[in-house]
Structure 1
């Protein structure tokens, strides 16, 4: 096998970095046998490029789980960061690879790496990608619902901005704050901007505030075209206030999150009040 040597560049007194090694190339292209031969032959598993990309980063962004497993078993650093602060788990979520995500988590990857101005969390990346299975998996491992990205805001903002209804639903069912703000902008503003009535209805069901204004003084309805389905939907909610029953259920969700239905049925109160407070658990098959 003819393998080209890695080019190297010298940066002052910092030292040498490999530009791109054969290990990087094999990992990126999913060449499992070649990667195994390189590692068995003593190739360095944690070699980094100038921008601090490791072979593990490459295998994750290209969604090659067999290569990820080989690299991890060979001692790849699971939480190594590139120059922007992204870990392999961020890359695996961005690629939408549940297998790679699970492998990394099983090898101790941090589900909540410290964020920088240039970094989105793994949960943000999964919501941007719109992969519900990745979202479910990292939520089950303790991903922070309110992690803040300087560009999108919270993961719920990201899911709504990218029109991923099922991801938004998973976040809301897990207890995400529906009225969390980024520059006074809520997820409902994003839903209005992308003209998704299903997202608007979902967010309102979970207590989304249709009257909140952003830093430009605009309500969600102000981002819709008059007469459009999204405009008519928000206009409907403005003209017909939520009932006391809906407000009570929203308060229950806000206080107890995903445990609400379990807790309310065990309260020592009238069955009629329990029935009044209980709501239908939303799922991906629920008509929005």
Structure 2
């Protein structure tokens, strides 16, 4: 890169606000040849717009993996934050692009960036990408990361009714009774009236008697004769079996990523399957 271009790029990174550049446009549209030519001609890959969006943010949000690769190889800042504090990894998770997520992680993207908003794991749960959720957890994502609007990733997955994501989170050891203003995942499940979700949360130890900041239980958010209401009423009248209580207690004792510990227990395979919710 020529000295003049390098100086321009530095200005772009430290505070030179611009409108969307040709690099942004090429990255968004997935025009890899155009992007490569721009990079080779000295275009800055770290200039950001008025809302602090870099070309890497744009490419990640659109799931343009080849453009993400080109930008990273050209020195794009992997953990650049936009005006909302989101990083390219957050955007890649929002797009559900597992390829972009893997690329960003391979270049050192922080799986738990210091955000006050939704984390990459929150974004993956919003999108409903269980593959992204699983990958983020494998590399150390904080299962209890708290967003002031959404609560934990489990709250998000339940509110959006992404059952696959919910099961991945719960199996990884997410706190089923984590509260946002005393509102639990079961409150969300009751509000969206999803019986399958309610049953899954209860089986993992969800507290059907938990009350939110309005003093309401999950059942208070269901219609009196609806299927979710009948489901919760059944659990209120029929306590969990001893086997289920033991499973919940053991899973709680094994903590985060407990499946790894359970698989190593010297017990019959059938019991391991039961403890693993298979």
Verify same fold: TM over 0.5. Answer: yes
8 Å CA contact retained: 1:20, 1:49: yes
Alignment TM-score, normalising by the size of structure 2: 0.90
- Looking at structure 2, the residues matched to 125 and 197 of structure 1 have their Cα atoms a distance apart, in angstroms, of 24
Q: Which residue of 1 aligns with 2:220?
A: 222
Alpha-carbon shift at residue 260 of structure 1 (Å): 5.2
Alpha-carbon shift at residue 19 of structure 1 (Å): 1.1
8 Å CA contact retained: 1:46, 1:77: yes
Q: What per-residue deviation string (whole Å, max 9, x for no partner) do you get for residues 218-269 of structure 1?
A: 0000001111111110010001011222111100011113245335435xxx
Q: What per-residue deviation string (whole Å, max 9, x for no partner) do you get for residues 22-64 of structure 1?
A: 0011001111110000000000010111111000000011110
Q: Which residue of 2 aligns with 1:105?
A: 105
Q: Which residue of 2 aligns with 1:6?
A: none
Q: Which residue of 1 aligns with 2:259?
A: 258
Task: Assess, with a 3 A threshold, how the Cα gap between structure 1 residues 95 and 115 changes in structure 2: closer, same or farther.
Answer: same
Alignment TM-score, normalising by the size of structure 1: 0.87
Q: Which residue of 1 aligns with 2:235?
A: 237
Residue 17 of structure 2 aligns to a residue in which SS? strand
Alpha-carbon shift at residue 152 of structure 1 (Å): 1.1
Q: What per-residue deviation string (whole Å, max 9, x for no partner) do you get for residues 67-86 of structure 1?
A: 00000000000000001100
Q: Which residue of 2 aligns with 1:84?
A: 84
8 Å CA contact retained: 2:24, 2:54: yes
Q: Which residue of 1 aligns with 2:70?
A: 70
8 Å CA contact retained: 1:252, 1:260: no
Task: Assess, with a 3 A threshold, how the Cα gap between structure 1 residues 277 and 240 changes in structure 2: closer, same or farther.
Answer: farther
Alpha-carbon shift at residue 17 of structure 1 (Å): 1.4
Selected match of 2:276 from 238, 256, 281: 281
Q: What per-residue deviation string (whole Å, max 9, x for no partner) do you get for residues 140-165 of structure 1?
A: 11101000011111100000000000
8 Å CA contact retained: 1:249, 1:277: no
* Superposition pairs of residues 10-89 of structure 1, within 5 angstroms: 16-89=16-89
8 Å CA contact retained: 1:113, 1:121: yes
Residue 17 of structure 1 aligns to a residue in which SS? coil
Residue 218 of structure 1 aligns to a residue in which SS? coil
8 Å CA contact retained: 1:193, 1:224: yes
Q: Which residue of 1 aligns with 2:140?
A: 142
Higher helix proportion, which one?
2
Q: Which residue of 2 aligns with 1:207?
A: 205
- Looking at structure 2, the residues matched to 263 and 238 of structure 1 have their Cα atoms a distance apart, in angstroms, of 35
8 Å CA contact retained: 2:247, 2:275: no
8 Å CA contact retained: 1:95, 1:129: yes
8 Å CA contact retained: 1:261, 1:278: no
Moved over 4 A (4+): 274-278
Alpha-carbon shift at residue 281 of structure 1 (Å): 2.8
Q: Which residue of 1 aligns with 2:125?
A: 127
- Looking at structure 1, the residues matched to 15 and 89 of structure 2 have their Cα atoms a distance apart, in angstroms, of 27
Alpha-carbon shift at residue 16 of structure 1 (Å): 3.5
- Looking at structure 2, the residues matched to 40 and 89 of structure 1 have their Cα atoms a distance apart, in angstroms, of 25
Residue 47 of structure 1 aligns to a residue in which SS? coil
- Looking at structure 1, the residues matched to 135 and 260 of structure 2 have their Cα atoms a distance apart, in angstroms, of 18
- Looking at structure 2, the residues matched to 276 and 95 of structure 1 have their Cα atoms a distance apart, in angstroms, of 38
Residue 227 of structure 1 aligns to a residue in which SS? coil
Instruction: Identify unmatched segments of 5+ residues in structure 2.
Output: 1-13
Alpha-carbon shift at residue 278 of structure 1 (Å): 6.9
8 Å CA contact retained: 2:94, 2:123: yes
Q: Which residue of 2 aligns with 1:3?
A: none
Task: Assess, with a 3 A threshold, how the Cα gap between structure 1 residues 18 and 131 changes in structure 2: closer, same or farther.
Answer: same
